[in-house]
Amino acid sequence: MFERTSGILMHITSLPSPHGIGTLGNAAYDFVDFLEAAGQRYWQVLPLGHTGFGDSPYQCFSAAAGNYLLIDLDTLVKDGLLTEAEVRAAEFKHTPDKVDYISLAETRPSLLRRAFARVDEEMQKKISLFRRKNRDWIEDYALFMALKEEKYEGRALWDWPEKDVRSRQPAALRRAKAELKDEIDFRVLLQYLFFEQWTALRTYANEHGVQIIGDIPIYVSPDSSDVWQHPELFKLKPDFSPKKVAGVPPDYYSETGQLWGNPVYDWKAHEESGFQWWIWRMKSNMALFDVIRIDHFRGLESYWEVTAGAENAIKGRWCKGPGMKLLNALEAALGKLPVVAEDLGIITDKVRALLDESGFPGMKVLIFAFDVWNDNEHLPHNYKPNMIVYTSTHDSQSVCEQVMDICNEDEKQFAYRYLRSSTSEALGWSAIKSVWASCANITMTTMQDVLSLGADARMNVPSTVGGNWSWRVRKEGINREVARMLREITETYKRYRPYQPPKRPKPRKAPEASETAEVSEAAAQD
């Protein structure tokens, strides 16, 4: 399924957009142009969801909703929903290097409410159509957010004071919907704007030979519309708080393991339902992305379960996952899956067997490889064709930071020798060449490694809260010379493959006014 190609991992928030955070506006289109000029096939992004705890894209309020902070304000000005003066008035002091999520949370919602007040009749028709087409999730999500943020002042699901609302009693839900109608409509508008802008960007990327790799976190947030809508699919207490939570035991990243806090699935309930929720989730993501990365793939074979309330992830147990039962159900419903698997961590023979049977490309990371005493599997000469391999990732140090931090002098010198790095070449470029020269079908790097950046550019430190997910690239770093150098490396190692996007059907003639009602009614049945 995957040709010998390459790409760059960088999240939308890291783009050098104006107004304090990377968005789906001009900077995103400029980055697509950069990728095209650099000969890259893939742009990998992190989960696009509405972030909650710690601003992490892996802790979202919904498995389907988009992050309203990614909505581009300049596009709203162009569309007449905001004025330039209003955008200027909502500005705050920000830097081009970091996202200030606290200031964004204080200023962005009120600005977007101005856009909500300007929705006209024509746009309302489009929003209504969007709402009907996404009715399987958007009504519950919009009501959940209206309840959580407006009525219950940000309280977590299990702390909601009205038990009949929490337990989804029909009369209580009807009452809440009537009470919060305007707030629900506002949340729906934000989703409409997000998906309109995302669809336009992805279309542009595909037309310019760039495919998008999306990311599915294996778990959902405990405080989410997903848990509220489908409590029977998770291991929960009667108050909807997690009974058992996910994580990983002590590993490369942490001596005490990683305690994620996400509720683990009741896989028996999923199987009894024919894995319908997972089929819906995968189908939704296949509509958004060209390729999908399943985060923590090893959790489908067996997963680390910890009792909720534990201080760390040391005391837990391995539990059996759904394995090929889930993957077979997904393929039966959706066809061949365009999936790559994040199979890092504690990998057993059973996990390897599941990966082999699935046929998905597994993952390797160069910076995990510099072990002078062993022939490490993360070294490029050990890669296999059916792999997606990285110089570094959003969860790790950059190549420069990692190599410079190696305390053992033998290991540090081994890294320099292996990368064939000289004083005249930046470590990031040496790493890219080493990975690009391998036999792996897909090779990926980060913008941090393209620019040979260090510790100040780290995106996330696992098992920590605060200060993560905020790195942004400087506009001047995305330039023609960098694109030329990366294009040269890509062509040298025979990874340049011009992508021919599938031909899209020609749009039908716009319906006459008399036909509009029929078209809308047909869409409602979609």
Residues noted as catalytic: 295, 342, 395
Residue tagged 């002590």 (tokens): 250
Task: Name the nearest CA neighbour of 160 among 172, 145, 176, 148.
Answer: 148
Structure tokens at 447: 């913008």
In three-state form (DSSP H/G/I as H, E/B as E, the rest C), the secondary structure along 6-30 is EEEECCHHHCCCCCCCCCCCHHHHH
The CA distance from 413 to 372, in Å, is 9
Q: Which two tokens stand for residue 78?
A: 């162009």
Give one DSSP letter per residue of 186-233, joined into a string: HHHHHHHHHHHHHHHHHHHHHHTT-EEEEEE-SS--SSSHHHHH-GGG
Q: Which residues, 6+ apart, have CB-to-CB distance to 34 below 8 Å?
A: 478, 482, 483
Cβ atoms of 119 and 190 closer than 8 Å:
no
Dihedral of CA 164/166/167/169: which sign?
A: positive
DSSP, res 157: G
Residue 250 has φ and ψ, to the nearest 5°, of -50, 135
Distances (CA, A) of 374 to 404, 430, 471: 20, 21, 34
- CB 325 within 8 Å of CB 271: yes
**Contact in structure between 93 and 218 (CB atoms under 8 Å):** no
Instruction: Output helix, strand, coil percentages for the chain, rounded to the nearest 5.
Output: 45, 10, 40
With vertex at residue 447, the alpha carbon angle to CA 470 and CA 49, rounded to the nearest 5 degrees, is 45
Contact predicate 263/235, CB 8 Å = yes
Residue-level length of the chain:
526
Report how far residue 227's alpha carbon sits from residue 144's, in angstroms, rounded to the nearest whole number. 10
